[in-house]
Amino acid sequence: MKSNKLLAALPLLAIAMSASAYAASDRTGYFGVTAGQATVDDLCDGIEVSCDDDAVSFRIHGGTELTDFANLEVGYRYIDDVEASGFISGVAVAAAINGHFVDTTLQLGLPESGPFKVFSKAGLMLWRLNYEVEASNGFLSISESDDDSGVAFRTGLGMSYQVSEQLRLRADWDLLLNVGDEDETGEADINVFSVGPEFRF
């Protein structure tokens, strides 16, 4: 229980650190929204049922520019359902999984080249996955739901284009590593490609 409370406090600690760094300097703060597609690696490999390992994803983020090349950022991401369905021994089975992710990320960028900026990123995230399974034999239907949570590592690359002093357009590739419970449902990596606006203040 104490461990779960500590994990839940990590995003709040990161927000406080970011706010303190911003308040103590004249550095620029920012927030943004991105949307795109998430793909769960190996989800559909080796199974003989209908399976869709792609899902819509969106993320809300905010941060502060610590230096000319380093940013501290926090974010919340939602990944919609990935689904699988088919027949097992004459029973129709359908499963869906979605996820919530809260992350703290350090970005390290290359020197700006005109309006473009390229950066790498690495950080930690608190994840929660929600599972729903339904089964029916034509006469009787049952459904079960469950959830798991944990901490994992995230990394990736990104690029932004400065449209004006207050507005940037941003594109990201995020790699979410070893998400899931290895003993119960297994772990998987998730690739996310997304784009969206970012506002500076």
Q: Please count the other Cβ atoms lying within 10 Å of the Cβ belonging to residue 130.
A: 15
Q: List the CATH number of the domain containing 73.
A: 2.40.160.20
Residue 158 binned pLDDT confidence (cut-offs 50, 70, 90):
very high
Cβ pair 56, 40 in contact under 8 A = no
pLDDT at 26: 62
pLDDT at 67: 87
How is the chain classified by DSSP, letter by letter?
-HHHHHHHHHHHHHHHHHHHHHHTS-PPEEEEEEEEEEEETTSSTT--SEEE-EEEEEEEEEEEE-SSSEEEEEEEEEEEEEEEEEEETTEEEEEEEEEEEEEEEEEEEPPPBTTEEEEEEEEEEEEEEEEEEEEE-SS-EEEEEEEEEEEEEEEEEEEEEESSSSEEEEEEEEEEEEES-TTTT--EEEEEEEEEEEEE-
pLDDT at 4: 47
Among the residue ranges 1-15, 52-66, 145-159, 166-180, the one predicted with the least confidence is: 1-15
pLDDT at 145: 92
Report how many domains make up the chain: 1
For the stretch 17-46, pLDDT in tens is: 555 544 555 668 999 999 999 999 987 776
Domain containing 101 equals: 2-200
Mean pLDDT of 34-61: 89
pLDDT at 12: 52
Q: Mean pLDDT across the chain, nearest whole number?
A: 86
The answer, yes or no, to whether residue 68 has pLDDT greater than 90, is no
Mean pLDDT of 131-158: 93
pLDDT at 5: 47
Higher pLDDT: 156 or 112? It is 156
Share of the chain above pLDDT 90, in %: 64
